[in-house]
Amino acid sequence: MNKVNKSRIRLLTVEWKNNSLVLIDQTKLPAKLTYVRCRSYIDVADAIKKLVVRGAPAIGVTAAFGLALAAIKSKTTNLKIFFQELTKAYEILRSTRPTAINLQWALDRIMQKITNLNDIALIKKVILDEAILMANEDIATNKSMGIKGAYLFSDGDTIMTHCNAGSLATVGYGTALGVIRAVKESGKKISVIATETRPVMQGSRLTAFELKHENIDVNLIPDTAVGHIMARGIVKHVVVGADRILRTGHVFNKIGTYQLAVLAKTHNIPFYVVAPSSTFDLKNNPNDIVIEERSKDEVIRIGKKILAPKNIGVINPAFDMTPPHLITKIITEKGIVSPPYTKSIKKLIK
Ligand code: MRU
């Protein structure tokens, strides 16, 4: 994995270039806008694990390109060995992060596309074409969700968001922030309240950076200020993304989403989730979903500084589950669904 320094400003999170995958290094934002070049699927798996790239749709498309790299870089002429190599790459990429379903969805979509093919050169082309198609579809899907969701908001609204569900969490445009962008593009004046999103700080490092970059009015608050700000009547709507949505409408998203939803309900503030159909998991039940548990270092350190006793026990779940009774609407590229979700999701997602 090589570091590529570029002064040119652009926010294309995932880009296929010269037979390699170029990713914005999100671990370095907002201090530095630098890029990481992945030349193998192992580089890609490493980048996903280290949060160089993160956000459900972005890691899905990145994993798809990872599989493309595994195929392109293979030297074998034996079809059986080729498929064994691809299966190994599939498993390694799939195991990088467990909660966002987009990762598995993207890898499965590619594998399905090639199951009946037996020409290695053709398979390599099909995999890369499919990954490129997914990257293009991602931007189109986000724009479509933006247009569909924008009408829910009015001129002068203040919108709270959590984590980063923007350009940086997708190939481009964003899900929750895509809707916010579309509201602005429709001519309405809005302002955003972004939560810091401890412990990885996707809100302060990424959402605040992205919205400033786009000239969208944004104020940052500590996660602990959510209840206070809502009680003061400042927030008109809450908009978040999702890593997985079940057929019952249970939403898995960045840790802290659940407490925002509870507080929004208490203060009668509409709570919207924005996600593409690739984020829906119609098979599993709430207890089947693995919530990623991350390193204790994320909690006890800020940078190099240790802020808690070294031997302290730490619980560091990266995601939580918001139950459907707290969610006002779910916005997708196929349309907007309302409760009861078991019925509306079944109708929308076939
Ligand atoms: O751990 P992360 O940064 O990958 O978590 C990201 C989130 O939880 C986002 O809110 C979610 O993926 C939706 S992104 C469009």
Residue written as token pair 């002064």: 7
- Residue from 25, 243, 281, 320 carrying the catalytic annotation: 243
| Cβ partners under 8 Å of residue 81, min gap 6 | none
pLDDT single digits (tens) 159-206:
999 999 999 999 999 999 999 999 999 999 999 999 999 999 999 999
Average pLDDT estimate for 75-91: 98
187 phi-psi bin (left φ>0, alpha ψ -120 to 50, beta other): left
- At 12 the pLDDT is 85
Residue ID of nearest Cα to ligand 1 atom 6:
55
**101 within ligand 1 shell (Cβ under 6 A):** no
Q: Is the CB of 203 under 6 A from ligand 1?
A: no
Residue 221 pLDDT more than 70? yes
What is the model's pLDDT at position 7? 37
Given this model, what pLDDT does residue 52 score? 98
How many A from CA of 55 to the centre of ligand 1?
A: 4
Ligand 1 pocket test, candidate residues 207, 254, 294, most atoms within 8 A of CB: 254
168 lines ligand 1 (CB under 6 A): no
pLDDT at 8 over 60: no
What's the confidence (pLDDT) of residue 152?
98
Same CATH topology for 2-142 and 150-348: the answer is no
Q: What is the mean pLDDT of residues 56-73?
A: 98
Mean of the pLDDT values across residues 79-86?
Answer: 98
Mean pLDDT of the chain: 96
Catalytic residue status for 108: no
Query: What pLDDT is attached to residue 294?
Result: 97
Q: Is 243 in the pocket of ligand 1 (CB under 6 A)?
A: yes
- Mutate which of 48, 205, 243, 255 for ligand 1 pocket (most atoms within 8 A of beta carbon): 243
* Contact (Cβ atoms closer than 8 angstroms) between residue 313 and residue 252: no
Question: In terms of CATH architecture, what is 150-348?
Answer: 3-Layer(aba) Sandwich (3.40)
* 62 Cβ inside 6 Å of ligand 1: no
Name the residue at shortest CA distance from atom 5 of ligand 1: 55
Q: What is the distance between the terminal CA atoms of the chain, rounded to a whole angstrom?
A: 39
Q: Which residue has the tokens 């445009």?
A: 173
What is the per-residue burial (b if ≥16 Cβ within 10 Å, else e) of 84-119? ebbeebbebbbebbbbbbbbbbbbebbeeebeeeee
Atom of ligand 1 nearest to the CA of 206: 3
Instruction: Judge whether residue 57 has pLDDT over 60.
Output: yes
**CB 124 near ligand 1, within 6 Å:** no
Residue percentage of the chain with pLDDT more than 90: 95
Residues 6 or more apart from 114 whose CB is under 8 A from it? 86, 123, 126, 127
Q: What is the pLDDT of residue 10?
A: 52
What does the pLDDT read at residue 4? 45
Per-residue pLDDT of 11-50, as tens digits, reads 789 999 999 999 999 999 999 999 999 999 999 999 999 9
Q: Where are the alpha helices (DSSP H) in 232-296?
A: 257-266
Q: Among residues 331, 328, 322, which one has the least CA distance to residue 340?
A: 328
Is the pLDDT at 3 greater than 70, yes or no? Answer: no
CATH, domain range 2-142? 1.20.120.420
Percent of the chain with pLDDT over 70: 97
| Chain centroid, CA 345 distance in Å | 20
For the chain, the structural domain boundaries read 2-142, 150-348
Q: Which of 337, 327, 341 is nearest to 149 (CA)?
A: 337
Concatenating the DSSP letter of every residue in 36-93 gives EEE-SHHHHHHHHHTTSS-SHHHHHHHHHHHHHHHHHH-----HHHHHHHHHHHHHHH
Confidence at residue 236, expressed as pLDDT on a 0 to 100 scale:
98
pLDDT at 217 > cutoff 70: yes
Q: State the amino acid at position 131 in one-letter form.
A: A
Q: What pTM does this model have?
A: 0.95
pLDDT at 9: 46
276 C-beta closer than 6 A to ligand 1: no
- Dihedral over Cα of 275, 54, 271, 191: its sign: negative
